[in-house]
Structure 1
Amino acid sequence: MKSENDLSVSELSTDTQPDEHLEKLSNKERVSYGVSDFACNIANGMVGTYLMYYYTDVFLVAAGAIGTLFFVARIVDAVCGPAWGILIDHTHTRWGKSRPFFLWFSIPYGIFFILAFSSVPLDSMGKLIWAYVTYIAIDVLYLGINIPITSILPSLTSNPQERVRLSTVRQVLATTGATLISVMVLPMVALLGRGNNQLGFFLTAVIIGVLTSCLLLVTFKNTRERVHPKNDHKLPLSESIKALKGNWPWMIISLMYFFFWIGMQTKLQVTVYFFKYNMHDAGLASVMLGLQAISLVVIVFTPFLTAHFGKKGTMSIGLGLCVISQAILGIGAHYLSVPILAAATILGYFGNGFFAGLLPVMLADTVDYGEWKSGVRAEGLVTSFSGIASNFGMGVGGAVTGFLLSMNGYIANHQQTPQALKAIEMNYIWVPLIGFGIGLILMYFYQFDKMQPKIEADLMARRLKEE
């Protein structure tokens, strides 16, 4: 049986003897990589979809105060995101650069996730302080495990098709996790709490938190980092930043991710509100959120579609479907028509499938582009901005939701005024449409696909020359 040191020697030898078949990973490793995002999506899916509802309608904190919390947390992200990326680039262990983070931070994340859904008996100010401490903690720790999920991909293999396969497995499992959590949270809260929503949310969080930590440890155990450039060493920050300078694919993908998550977060976190207050049937929220299982079909076929339309074309199709679905949702909301809302939701999840299936691959491409253009390979710093972009987008989306609800007179667990209902509808339909539309426009400027063959050939020649 090989020791960890023995594995390190065999992994490093891959760089000195480039051979395509050595980078074709086992199904065990592909699945182990994919369960990392399954874990993140069951935990962060519960946070992104239900935490605001939990804060306002269960923990009883004012919507405007929560909107401010989400915005403040994004300021923290702006500092912590790059810090995590730099830390990854300066990490050199026998396990690699990104992989150790799953070992170090999986359990702390699970603990603070549980604490965030713990209804401690405090006064209004105490509750708000508790929300700030626990939410910002899980936000920072989430970056510490989610950024490595993306930064490790270009280190697992340099084979483009293997990267697509890894990304596909990852996104299938991620979407499965997000779907399960969307459907199961409210029924689990009702079952475990037996009428006590505070207890129900806490016990649900315990189950999800423990499962998340265990799955991240599985990822740590069964993955290996293989791609190590000869000049791989602890890069000073001034050197790492060179991988970002002039990296237009990275800039476009980061901006697209930011605007996409503004739209997606406002929609996700207000779904329960929309069906509880606008449609008068909160149970429909789980049904509509569960329809995201449809995107699994799209993710599975993403590699085949990408072969025909390219990454840019496939991503544009996905964002276009998201925009169209939001417009149809507007019609369904106007007529309070469940069939129209369901049809529009299904169409939107088809679009989400294209987005989810391709984004990690496109981010890995930006690492290669940065190395090709600057000679510096900084997986951590480059990919950390995907976590920053998504978290900042989610935070802005959360702030928009909280402020719109507060400004229009939302009162938890009461019949809402027409203005409050309109604010809920705005968050559910029109803010997402704008976010997805801006993302679609940005894809027009993405030109990496045409350059990729030359970039791959140049990088391979450069690495062979360094031997």
Structure 2
Amino acid sequence: MSQNVNASSGQQPENKPVEPHAKNMVPWGERFSYGLSDFACNLSFQMVGTYLMIFYTDTFGISAAAVGTLFLVARIVDAFDGPFWGIMIDHTHTKWGKSRPYWLWFTIPFAVFCVLVFTTPNLSLPGKLAWAYVTYLGVDILYSAVNIPITSILPSLTSSPQERVTLSTIRQFMGTAGAAIVTGITLTMVAYFGGGSTTSARGWFIWALIVGVIVVGIFAIVFKNTKERVQTKSSRESIPIKQSLKALKNNWPWAIIIFINFIYWMGMQTRSQVTVYFFKYNMNNAGLASFVLSLQFVSLLAVVLTPLTSRLIGKRNTMLVGMIMAVAGQLLLSVGATHLSVSIIIVATIIGYLGTGYVSGLIAVMLADAVDYGEWKNGVRAEGIVTSFSSFSAKLGMGIGGVITGWILSMTGYAANQAQNAGALHGIELNYIWVPLIGFALSGIALMFYHVDGIEKKMQSDLAIKHAKENAEQ
């Protein structure tokens, strides 16, 4: 069914309320539980994203170039695993819904691989590389299995655009808190369990095991307390792959957000994974890395303000403000790096995190809007395939960021656990400052072409009429 069932048919007034307001509201307990999903994901995957490269190079004994190649291979795999999980979600129909079952089925395997990836068996160099490939690819694939449902379930939790902003804000608040906690205390915990050494294999394993157990417990709560309440004709039947792909036809809001998700996370990844390198080698103060990473907590202020700001100036403009602040933070960071000024670096980091706080939470909301746009424009509602590219594009960006980092460090002469030459120090700085700046700037430019905010009211009204008509035919 295509867009010919909208208000222009003349059968119903454009703004006639079809669904009760209460149906679109999500109870606070469920809001909190939904937010916990990203808290759990970030506890585990931010640990992987932030610390795996330095774990591989400085603890496991793999070269930076080899790690970069591993990340590139993983991104090739992601070209298939992200859409695969999206298609699987679109074909899933259980008493628990379409998205929720994946937390029940795949959380434990994901947590197991999060531990294995920080395990250091006594192997030859080829054996270490094989172990790294198997465990990292396992983490990557299983991460998609538990993370894509976090985004794909959002359009099913509520059809209210503002309620989606609220849910995504809570999710981002919790996710940011999880990221800040794990990045802020990981080196301390590794040293605690590793006899005072941040390169201790034993310390990394024990801490990864603790995080894995916590993740499993949290996802059990998420599964129990969430509900897929928005039921449409499409959500009650399997959608053929060819049909689900129609949701992407001329879906420019989706294309823009997927591009932003890719280039934004590329920049974020290069910065986060070289933070330890930057403070260890460029600033000669490795201990400061944990403090700077923990400053992610300041982004929670922007996250809390996101619903209000988006109501006042729109979602697109709110995200654009965030991107501008992120660029400004990187420019100020370059001044701090040039003068080796800790105070300037801290101020720059705070500005940058405030900016990214506005960005991260709105990506999921705009993808939910893209689900609606695909149905409104093409008559096909395919939450799985539309939102699966969120995980794919984010991981592709993070992977390319890993490739860039690994190859730049290798080409500029990085050598683990020793004083670096001028070229290596410059390579670290490129990764920490300039690659992220390019990513944020390109994201801001792409946002200038996003125009959904202006048609959102009509789109939601038309879809409400369409869903009511379909439900009446059941």
- After TM superposition, the score normalised by the length of structure 2 is 0.94
* 2:460 is the alignment partner of 1:456: yes
> Which residue of the partner structure matches residue 75 of structure 1?
76
Show the counterpart of 1:203.
Answer: 206
Letter in 2 for 1:126: G
Among 215, 224, 229, the alignment partner of 1:226 is: 229
Mapped to 2, the partners of 1:166 and 1:434 lie a distance apart of 30
What is the CA deviation profile of residues 230-274 of structure 1, one whole-angstrom value per residue up to 9, with x for unaligned ones?
A: 243111110000000100000000001100011000000000000
Deviations 1:125-166 (A, max 9, x none): 111110000000000000011000000000011122221111
- 1:214 and 2:220 equivalent? no
Ranges in structure 2 where 5+ consecutive residues have no aligned partner: 1-17
Distance 2:26 2:270 in 1: 38
Instruction: Find 1:275's aligned residue among 279, 286, 296.
Output: 279
Task: State the secondary structure of the residue aligned to 2:250.
Answer: coil
Percent identity, aligned pairs only?
54
User: Aligned runs of 1:1-400 on 2, under 5 Å?
Assistant: 18-195=19-196, 197-232=200-235, 233-400=237-404
Residues 412-467 of structure 1 show CA distances to partners (whole Å, capped at 9, x for unaligned) of 00110100000000000000000111000000000000010110011011112221
Question: Residue type matched to 1:130 in 2?
Answer: W
Letter in 2 for 1:446: Y
Q: Deviations over 1:374-433 (max 9, x none)?
A: 111000000000100100000000000000001111110011010000000000000000
User: Contact conserved, 2:102 with 2:149, CA < 8 A, in 1?
Assistant: yes
Moved >3 Å (runs of 4+): none
**What residue identity is the alignment partner of 2:76?**
I
Aligned partners of 2:36 and 2:175 also within 8 Å: yes
Deviation of residue 18 (structure 1)? 2.8
TM-superposition CA deviations, 1:164-206 (whole Å, max 9, x none):
1111111110010001011110000011111351111100000
Q: C-alpha separation between the residues in 2 aligned to 1:420 and 1:377? A: 49
Question: 1: distance between equivalents of 2:366 and 2:23?
Answer: 23
Q: Distance in 2 between matches of 1:255 and 1:43?
A: 25
2 CA distance for matches of 1:115 and 1:357? Answer: 30
Distance in 1 (alpha carbons) for counterparts of 2:213 and 2:344: 38
Query: What is the CA–CA distance in structure 1 between the aligned matches of 2:391 and 2:117, rounded to whole Å?
Result: 20
Give 2:158's aligned amino acid.
Answer: T
Q: Distance in 1 between matches of 2:134 and 2:234?
A: 40
2: CA distance, partners of 1:58 / 1:195: 14
The amino acid that maps onto 1:81 is G
Q: Specify the SS of the correspondent of 2:274.
A: helix
Matched position secondary structure for 1:436:
helix
Counterpart secondary structure, 2:285 = coil
2:358, 2:196 → 1: CA distance? 39
Task: In structure 1, list runs of 5 or more residues that go unmatched.
Answer: 1-16
The answer for the alignment partner of 1:13 in structure 2 is none
The TM-score, its normalising length taken from structure 1, stands at: 0.96
| Cα distance in structure 1, aligned partners of 2:121 and 2:318 | 47
Q: Secondary structure at the residue paired with 2:450?
A: coil
Cα-to-partner distance string for 1:30-65 (whole Å, 9 max, x where unaligned): 111110000000101100110001000011100000
Please state whether the residue corresponding to 2:314 is helix, strand or coil: helix
How has the CA–CA distance of structure 1 residues 121 and 195 changed in structure 2, closer, same or farther, with 3 Å as cutoff? farther
Output the CA distance in 2 between the equivalents of 1:465 and 1:100. 28
Aligned length: 451
| Contact 2:303–2:358 (CA under 8 A) maintained in structure 1 | yes
**After the TM superposition, which of the residue ranges 213-222 and 419-428 deviates more from structure 2?**
213-222
1:228 partner SS: coil
How far apart, in 2, do the equivalents of 1:22 and 1:322 lie?
A: 37
State the alpha-carbon separation in 1 of the partners of residues 62 and 386 from structure 2.
37
Distance 1:330 1:87 in 2: 45
CA contact (8 A) 2:234 2:382 kept: no
Mapped contact 2:333–2:349 kept (Cα < 8 A)? yes
- 1:425 is matched with which residue? 429
The counterpart of 2:413, out of the listed 397, 409, 422, is: 409
Residues 49-108 of structure 1, C-alpha deviations (whole Å, 9 max, x = no match) = 100010000111000000000000000000111000000000000100000000000000
Partners in 2 of 1:410 and 1:109 — Cα distance? Answer: 32
Q: Does 1:437 align with 2:441?
A: yes
Q: Which amino acid aligns with 1:200?
A: G
Q: Secondary structure at the match of 1:97?
A: coil
Provide the C-alpha distance between the structure 2 equivalents of 1:337 and 1:219, rounded to a whole number of angstroms.
43
Q: Tell me how far 1:368 sits from its aligned partner.
A: 0.4
Match of 1:237, as an amino acid?
I
Aligned counterparts of 2:40 and 2:322: Cα–Cα separation in 1: 24
Distance 2:415 2:422 in 1: 12
Displacement of 1:294 in angstroms is 0.4
Aligned equivalents of 2:234, 2:66: Cα separation in 1 = 48
CA separation in 1, counterparts of 2:49 and 2:156? 29
Displacement, 1:364? 0.6
Amino acid at match of 1:73: A
Query: Is the partner of 1:109 in helix, strand or coil?
Result: helix
CA distance in 2 between counterparts of 1:195 and 1:285 reads 16
